Amino acid sequence: MPRNVKSLNGAGFSVSVLVSVGRHPLTARARRADHDARAVEMALSLNDASVQLIHAGDNDTASEEALRGYLGMGVSGVKRIEQASNADVVPALTNILRFAAPQLVLTGTRAETGEGSGLVPYLLAESLGWTVVSGLAEIESIEQGVATVLQALPRGKRRRLQVRLPAIATVDSSAPAARQSAFGPARRGELTDCAYASVIDELQTQWHIQPARKRPKRLKIVKSASARDRFKAAAAKADSGGGQLLSDVTPEQGAEAIFTLLKEEGVLR
Amino acid sequence: MDGKCSAQGWVYSALAEVCRRGPAAKATRDEVSTMLNTLLPILIFTALALAAIGAVRRMRLWRQGRPSPVNLLKGLAAMPRRYLVDLHHVVGRDKMISNTHVATAGGFVAAAVLMILVHGLGIANPLLGGLLLLASTSMFVGSLFVARRRLNPPARLSKGPWMRLPKSLMAFSLGVFLVTLPTVGLLPDGLLEGSGSWLLALVLAGVVAWGLGEMFFGMTWGGPMKHAFAGALHLAFHRRAERFSTKKGGGGRSTGLKALNLNDEAAPLGVEKPADFTWNQLLGFDACVQCGRCEAVCPAFAAGQPLNPKKLIQDMVVGMAGGSDAGYAGSPHPSQGIGGKPVGEHAGSPHGPIVALEGKTLVDADTLWSCTTCRACVEECPMMIEHVDAIVDMRRHLTLERGKTPNKGAEVLDNLIATDNPGGFDPGSRLNWAADLNLPLMADIKQVDVLLWLGDGAFDMRNQRTLRALIKVLRAAEVDFAVLGAEERDSGDVARRLGDEATFQSLAKRNIATLAQYRFLQIVTCDPHSFHVLGNEYGELGGHYEVRHHSTFIAELYDAGRLTFAPWKGGRVTYHDPCYLGRYNGEYEAPRNVLKALGIEVKEMERSGSRSRCCGGGGGAPITDIPGKQRIPDMRMNDIKESGAELVAVGCPQCAAMLEGVVDASAEVRDIAELAADALVERPAGDASGGSRRPAATTMTAEEVIV
Ligand code: SF4
Ligand code: SF4
């Protein structure tokens, strides 16, 4: 059940949602991306906020259909910046966001197509100099340029954060599900094209991309007489024990800790 | 009850009083006649004029609706036949009411015409007068029966103004009878020569005026007699002219939903407000006589879900005219728990929304989503009203414009869009269940006698058993068949009933394009929903096929001597008619013939054939899942129990799923294909009677059928 935020300061509040063209996991058909749709849902459930949808990417029929999926949720239009398929969309998005100057930018955690690295929000935050928050589950209130939000943590935990606006927040499957997309509004909604030259992602052009192979999951064999224990073992998620919570540390100390960890895990050698 | 007796009593006692005072004569017979002769034309023509004004106003209400192409003259010409044949075919299921109606309505129409001639225009011809006496007598006798039915009316009948109708009928017939007596000189001399004779004349005029008020004025100003006026025109201008029989016979079934024109961006997507219905749909709602036959057969109503088809139609009438439902005098929409949705809380207007965005207007959304589209109401309605069309029209708006398909609806529609099946399964896995069966694929052989349409039951483990059984039967009869395999998509049935016309048409068009690549004589399917959609609804989109239900096909194979069954050794068996096979497609016989061929004597349930009760699985009802007091499949299982059967034969994957879902069921659920497969006997070697594969000559016909 989406919670409406009552304490918005009138209609002046503007939210931009970055939406991408999704891809159905089984049939690979273009669709509204699940996380992005949840971001739109969250924006629409903010009372009186003016919601603007922005998309940067390819411009073909399949992607138009998919973008209309967002329009069907009751948004009147999507601003579409056409970009070549091998372009880096960050410059285009930075440009339009700087221009539109929304107080809050919402987007899905990662795209369902392309690189799907989930880095776009961070790169945008970096180039705009805004705060970035990941895994938003709920926006509780927005008052005097500060948003109180709930961030989703693994296993249903929630953390309340106060974020100074403007900010970029990402939304994943712990946010409320997107509302149904209706045919009528989807057909009527407008796609407005904005031009911005594609900046080709040179690095990406050198990559070789192939479909992921499903790997068998190694099962932990639990020798136990009790069915309950065996079930628990089979259903248990990998326990992220042995972590370390760092708070009130300097950036250098933080970086040091991360560096050590990456070395321990063998990521860096 | 009380009011009724006293009103009747009033007429009689007034007459008696007048007769008693008779002897104190002053006025002459002539004076009375003159008085009546002056009064009656005034009364008759005033009533006619008022009726005409009312008729124009009523027609204006209907014309608020959207255009609908009908041939007006042809319709009017066909109206008497539609009334006498088609309507009486429905009414005639209850002989008593049918005869009552013939006497009353026939008497009234004749009396009205003759009365205008005799008393209105003063053509005091004794022959006409005599006929008028006859007509009014017939009407009076009829109205006695109407009155008798109203003595202890069943719950399905509306009360309120309908309770006064028999009295009004009597007033009219009796009044007309009495004022006609002088015309034929059949009046005892003494009667009209008393001091009370002027009083008598006044009383008579009063009685006639009451009758005229109800019968003429009330007919067009919204009284109970409105049903005759609107009903006659509805018969003439019905939106589905093809559902009526013609002199050449045939016709009589028109069950496919009408397609929305999605290319016309100005056309509304479904019905948001009463004025979005077509004018003849509005006319149809106005024709409702509130007989409640639809209410009596509606499974959703019986289950206590918030839907009463009769109330829904009345809600539409309220909306069309504007106002609240406070005047409704029948059973309300039930709702969970006791009581029902109280009347008077809902109101609407011709250009206001039917379902409120927030709060209440005319109808609550869960009323529309309770319907299983079983068509029992349409089948029973003597006024030929199309409830299912109206319900789906309103659902279309909720889904296509508001995106408000309840419960699992949105998920199912998303799955249909993304994976072409409601469960969201990988479309490539549609044939996984048949991995060991080596089914021939259309893509490989291109041309075949029988295209076996699997339906979405291919993803359901219960239905896979039925499909395997059917394939065993087809192989035993050496039928030349093939399947589409992964190329098959959902037929679009559920999407359409949930109001998502866009997804339906998208699925339908792609299926039609796939089918167009291949040659086949006929499609056979074990899913009546696919059967209905492929056979009755794809035509409008350009796909014309010869479709057969597997029971029909098995019956044909058996008749052709291509199947041999071992005699039945099990217990008592009953058969459940699937709505989409029976009422939608008129196939009641073939499944019973197959059961007979299996040596089974069917123990019929009380509700069977065209009056079969829905299993609760149609129209997306299990998806929208509107709560009620009880579940529809439980009620159906109870019907099965009452028939004494230990096994129920079904012919639909939905019915099988719904009935098997009943907890503590008293009967086993088996598909006809399973029963047939179990009873198969290898035919003795050398018996080749029609058993071999059809020669190439047959496939030539395939080409003819396809082009
Ligand atoms: S809709 Fe038809 S069946 Fe139902 S009450 Fe009206 S006339 Fe009778
Ligand atoms: S179609 Fe069936 S469920 Fe729907 S209103 Fe008619 S009788 Fe009731």
Q: What is the mean pLDDT of each run of 10 residues along chain A (269 residues)?
A: 44 88 93 96 91 91 91 94 90 94 94 89 95 94 92 89 94 94 95 89 82 76 77 69 78 90 83
Over the stretch B403-416, which tens digit does the pLDDT of each residue have?
999 999 999 999 99
Q: Rounded mean pLDDT of chain B?
A: 89
Same domain, A201 and A219: no
CB contact (8 A) between residue A179 and residue B418 = no
Range of the domain at A237: 213-264
Alpha carbons B90 and B377: distance in angstroms, whole number:
12
Angle of helix A120-128 versus helix A90-100 axis, rounded to 10: 50
Instruction: Tell me the CA distances in angstroms from A51 to A47, A77, B28, B69, B142, one per residue in order.
Output: 10, 9, 89, 43, 67
Q: In sequence order, which ranges of B102-224 are alpha helices (DSSP H)?
A: 107-115, 126-151, 165-180, 197-212, 218-220
Reported as type and span, the H/E element at residue B450 is: strand B447-453
Check pLDDT > 80 for residue B692.
no
Counting the structural domains of chain A, the total is 2
A5 found inside a domain: no
| Average confidence (pLDDT) over B54-61 | 95
For residues A53 and A101, membership in a common domain is answered with: yes
Q: Which residue has the higher pLDDT, B207 or A61?
A: B207
Can you list the alpha helix ranges (DSSP code H) found in B322-451? 365-369, 376-380, 387-396, 409-419, 442-445
CA distance B432 to B110: 68
CA dihedral B101, B107, B112, B115 (to 10 degrees): -160
Tally Cβ neighbours within 10 Å of residue A251.
7
Q: Which residue has the tokens 């069921």?
A: B665
SS3 category, A21: strand
Rounded to a whole number of angstroms, the distance from the CA of A179 to the nearest CA of chain B is 8
* Per-residue model confidence as pLDDT tens digits over B103-160: 999 999 999 999 999 888 888 788 998 999 999 999 999 999 999 999 999 999 999 9
Three-state secondary structure readout of A157-219? EEEEEEEECCEEEEECCCCCCCCCCCHHHHHHCEEEEECCCCEECHHHHCCCCCCCCCCCCCC
* Nearest by Cα to B653 from B477, B453, B437, B416: B453
Q: Find, in chain B, the residue whose alpha carbon is nearest to that of A179.
A: B403
Interface of chain A against chain B, CB under 8 Å?
A: 24, 26-27, 29, 31, 72-74, 179-185, 187-188
What confidence score (pLDDT) does residue A240 get? Answer: 58
In angstroms, the CA B220 to CA B222 distance is 6
Of residues A24, A27, A184, nearest to B401 (C-beta): A184
Question: B275: distance to nearest CA of chain A, Å?
Answer: 19
Q: What is the CA radius of gyration of chain A?
A: 21
Which atom from ligand 1 is nearest to the alpha carbon of B380?
Answer: 3
What is the rounded radius of gyration, in angstroms, for the C-alpha atoms of chain B? 30
CATH number at residue A180: 3.40.50.620
Rounded CA-CA distance B660/B666 in Å is 10
Span from the CA of B320 to the centroid of ligand 2 (angstroms):
22
Centre of ligand 1 from the C-alpha of residue B220, in Å: 19
Q: Which residues of A touch B500 (CB under 8 A)?
A: 183
Residue A89: alpha-carbon gap to chain centroid: 15
In this predicted structure, the answer to whether residue B24 has a pLDDT above a threshold of 60 is no
SS3 B270: coil
Q: B638 with B616: CB under 8 angstroms?
A: no
Interchain pair A183, B502: CB under 8 A: yes
Q: Is the pLDDT of residue B703 over 60?
A: no
Residue of higher predicted confidence among B464 and B682: B464
Using CB atoms within 10 A of its CB, is residue B22 exposed (0-12), middle (13-18) or buried (19+)?
middle
Neighbours of A225 (CB within 10 A): 6
Residue B563, Cβ neighbours under 10 Å: how many? Answer: 24
Q: What pLDDT band is residue B684 in, cutting at 50, 70 and 90?
A: low
Cα–ligand 2 centroid distance for B258 (angstroms): 18
Task: Decide if A132 contacts A122 (C-beta within 8 A).
Answer: yes
Of B403, B405, B420, the CB nearest to A72: B403
The answer to whether A268 touches A259, Cβ cutoff 8 Å, is yes
Mutate one of A4, A21, A26 to test the B interface: name it (highest B CB count within 10 A): A26
pLDDT, one tens digit per residue, over B388-397 is 999 999 999 9
A251, two tokens: 């950036």
Average pLDDT value for residue range B599-617: 95
Query: Do A165 and A221 have their domain in common?
Result: no
Nearest CA to ligand 2 atom 7: B298
Contacts of residue B499, defined as CB under 8 A and 6 or more positions apart, other chains included, come to B270, B392, B395, B396, B397, B398, B399, B400, B405
Q: Does B383 have pLDDT greater than 90?
A: yes
CA distance, residue A138 to nearest chain B CA (Å) = 22
pLDDT of residue B197: 73
Contact B403 A187 (CB under 8 A): no
In sign, the C-alpha dihedral spanning B183, B187, B190, B191 is negative
Residue B5's pLDDT band (cuts 50, 70, 90): very low
Question: CA–CA separation, A114 vs A221, rounded Å?
Answer: 37
d(C-alpha A183, C-alpha B588), whole Å: 38
Ligand 2 cavity residues, CB under 6 Å: B 297-300, 307, 309, 371-377, 387-388, 614
- Give which of B400, B503, B505 to mutate to test A binding, by max A Cβ within 10 Å: B400
Is pLDDT at B683 greater than 80 in this prediction? no
Residues in chain B, total: 707
**pLDDT bracket for residue B246 (50, 70, 90):** confident
Across-strand partners of B452?
Answer: B483, B524
Cβ–Cβ below 8 Å for A182 and B400: yes
Give the type of residue at B396: R
Domain boundary among A154, A170, A205: A205
Kindly give the number of the ligand 2 atom that is closest to the alpha carbon of B378: 6
- Residue A237: the pLDDT is 65
Name the closest ligand to CA B299: 2
Tell me if A88 is assigned to some domain: yes
> Which ligand has the shortest distance to the CA of B309?
2
Residue type, B664: D
CA nearest neighbour of B414 among A29, A8, A242, A102: A29
Q: Which of B400, B418, B502 sits opposite A31 (nearest CB)?
A: B418
Helix, strand and coil percent figures for chain A, each rounded to 5: 30, 30, 45
Question: Residue B416's pLDDT is what?
Answer: 97
**Would you say the CB of residue B313 lies under 6 angstroms from ligand 1?**
yes
Q: Which ligand is nearest to the CA of B314?
A: 1
B376 C-alpha to center of ligand 2: Å? 6
Strand pairing class (B323-324; B347-348): antiparallel
* Among the listed residues A1, A4, A20, the one whose alpha carbon sits nearest the alpha carbon of residue A69: A20
* Boundary residue ending a domain (A159, A178, A205): A205
pLDDT of residue B691 exceeding 50:
no
What pairs with residue A164 in β-bridges?
Answer: A146
Angle at B205 between CA B201 and CA B210, to 5 degrees: 150
Instruction: pLDDT band for B23, please (50, 70, 90 cuts).
Output: very low
Backbone phi, psi, residue B572, to 5°? -75, 140
Nearest-angstrom CA–CA distance, A24 and A5? 31
Please return the burial class of A245, using the count of CB atoms within 10 Å of its CB with bins 0-12, 13-18 and 19+.
Answer: exposed
> B401 vs A185: CB contact, 8 Å cut-off?
yes
Q: Do A26 and B418 touch (CB under 8 A)?
A: yes
B5 or A126, higher pLDDT: A126
Q: Is B289 in the pocket of ligand 1 (CB under 6 A)?
A: yes
Instruction: For chain B, positions 484-543, list CB contacts with chain A under 8 A.
Output: 500-502
**Do A29 and A148 belong to one domain?**
yes
Using the predicted structure, report yes or no on whether residue B25 has a pLDDT greater than 60. no
What integer is the mean pLDDT of B637-655?
Answer: 95
Instruction: Among A181, A205, A229, identify where a domain stops.
Output: A205
CATH class of B418-559: alpha beta
Is pLDDT of B633 > 90? Answer: yes
Contact A26 B269 (CB under 8 A): no
- B403–A182: do the CB atoms touch at under 8 Å? yes
Q: Which of B484, B419, B480, B491 is nearest to B456 (CA)?
A: B491
Neighbours of B700 (CB within 10 A): 10
- A39, A71: one domain: yes
What residue type is assigned to position B279 of the chain?
A: W
Within a domain: residue A269? no
Ligand nearest, relative to CA of residue B384: 1
H helices then E strands: how many in chain A? 8, 13
| Residues in Cβ contact with B283 at an 8 Å cutoff, skipping those fewer than 6 apart | B62, B65, B230, B233, B234, B237
> Which ligand 2 atom is at minimum distance from the Cα of B621?
3
Chain B residue with minimum CA distance to A188: B265
The half-sphere exposure of A127 on its side-chain side, counting CA atoms within 13 A, is 15
Question: Would you call B418 and A187 a contact, using CB atoms and an 8 Å cutoff?
Answer: no
Mutating to test ligand 2, I would choose from B307, B381, B386 the residue with most ligand atoms within 8 A of its C-beta, which is: B307
**Taking each helix axis from N to C terminus, what angle separates B279-286 and B29-62, rounded to the nearest 10 degrees?**
140
- The verdict on residue A6 lying in a domain is no
Angle of helix B197-212 versus helix B29-62 axis, rounded to 10? 10
CA gap B207, B201 in Å, rounded: 10
Neighbours of B154 (CB within 10 A): 10
Calculate the CA B660 to chain-centre distance.
28
Cβ partners under 8 Å of residue B611, min gap 6: B297, B376, B379, B380
Please tell me the distance between residue B614's alpha carbon and the centre of ligand 2 in angstroms: 9
- Is residue A240 situated within a structural domain? yes
Note whether B409 contacts A: Cβ–Cβ < 8 A: yes
Spatial distance between the Cα atoms of B400 and A188, rounded to a whole number of angstroms: 12
Residue A110 lies in a domain: yes
Residues A52, A146 within the same domain:
yes
B264 min Cα distance to partner chain A (Å): 12
The pTM (predicted TM-score) of the whole model is: 0.89
Q: How far apart are CA B383 and CA B308, in angstroms?
A: 17
- Nearest by CB to residue A179, choosing from B403, B419, B426, is B403
- Whether B698 has a pLDDT exceeding 50, the answer reads no
Would you call B261 an interface residue with chain A, using a CB distance cutoff of 8 Å? no
Q: State the ligand closest to the CA atom of B287.
A: 1
| pLDDT exceeds cutoff 60 at B20 | no
